[in-house]
């Protein structure tokens, strides 16, 4: 199988190179682009000042676009079905075709984020770990004494880096957002179980 990689050119185009570093193809990008991000095999996200464009490099066609604030980071879910676009003070959630799902605005700068296994986006600001559900509902998971940068979330465990670049592991309580997620997805059997645990009182059904 042939292997190749992309190089972004300042001429708003990408150069497709083989493993010998020889240019095999040049491809003009659909918009004036300040940066590119991975978007699955053969696809790129092209960032301009006011939008993100999903571009198929092989077909040289635009698959979708979304008006956004200036995006700093792009974080895909593990199955590549959803993407979080992080700007300075907002998080935009979209599906793999850049169809908008929801937007969360923050007054304090967004620092980092990651998808947990249930499909909830977990992110940090300067002094909080927070969550964002697919319907745009958001809330606080816990407060922070110092800023952290999330690398992974697995159930009740959050992996991150501190400002010194050291690995840290933080325990979190996902009860609130998993309860709300079950409500949103109409999984009422799980809602009953979550409701019991959420209120801390045993209820037998």
- What pLDDT is recorded for position 27? 83
| pLDDT score recorded for residue 9 | 56
Q: What pLDDT score does 202 carry?
A: 43
> What pLDDT, on a 0 to 100 scale, did the predictor assign at position 1?
41
Choose among 107, 138, 136, 134: nearest CA to 123: 138
Tell me which residues of the chain have a pLDDT lower than 70.
1-11, 188, 190-205
Predicted pLDDT of residue 203? 43
Nearest to 154 by CA among 181, 182, 112, 116: 116
Q: What is the pLDDT of residue 143?
A: 96
């Amino acid at each position: 199988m042939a292997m190749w990689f992309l190089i972004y050119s300042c001429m708003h185009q990408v150069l497709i190179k083989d493993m010998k570093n020889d240019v095999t193809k040049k491809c003009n990008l659909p918009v004036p682009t300040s940066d590119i991000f991975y978007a699955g095999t053969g696809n790129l996200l092209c960032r301009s000042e006011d939008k993100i464009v999903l571009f198929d490099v092989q077909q040289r066609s635009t698959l979708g676009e979304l008006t956004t604030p200036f995006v700093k980071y792009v974080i895909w879910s593990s199955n590549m079905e959803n993407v979080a676009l992080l700007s300075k003070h907002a998080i935009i959630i979209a599906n793999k075709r850049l169809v908008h799902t929801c937007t969360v605005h923050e007054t304090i700068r967004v620092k980092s984020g990651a998808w947990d296994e249930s499909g909830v986006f977990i992110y940090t600001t300067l002094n909080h770990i927070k969550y964002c559900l697919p319907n745009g509902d958001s809330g606080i998971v816990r407060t922070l004494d110092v800023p952290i940068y999330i690398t992974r979330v697995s159930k009740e465990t959050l992996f991150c880096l501190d400002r010194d670049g050291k690995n840290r592991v933080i325990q979190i309580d996902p009860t609130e957002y998993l309860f709300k997620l079950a409500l949103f997805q109409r999984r009422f059997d799980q809602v009953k179980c979550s409701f019991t645990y959420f209120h801390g009182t045993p209820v037998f059904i």
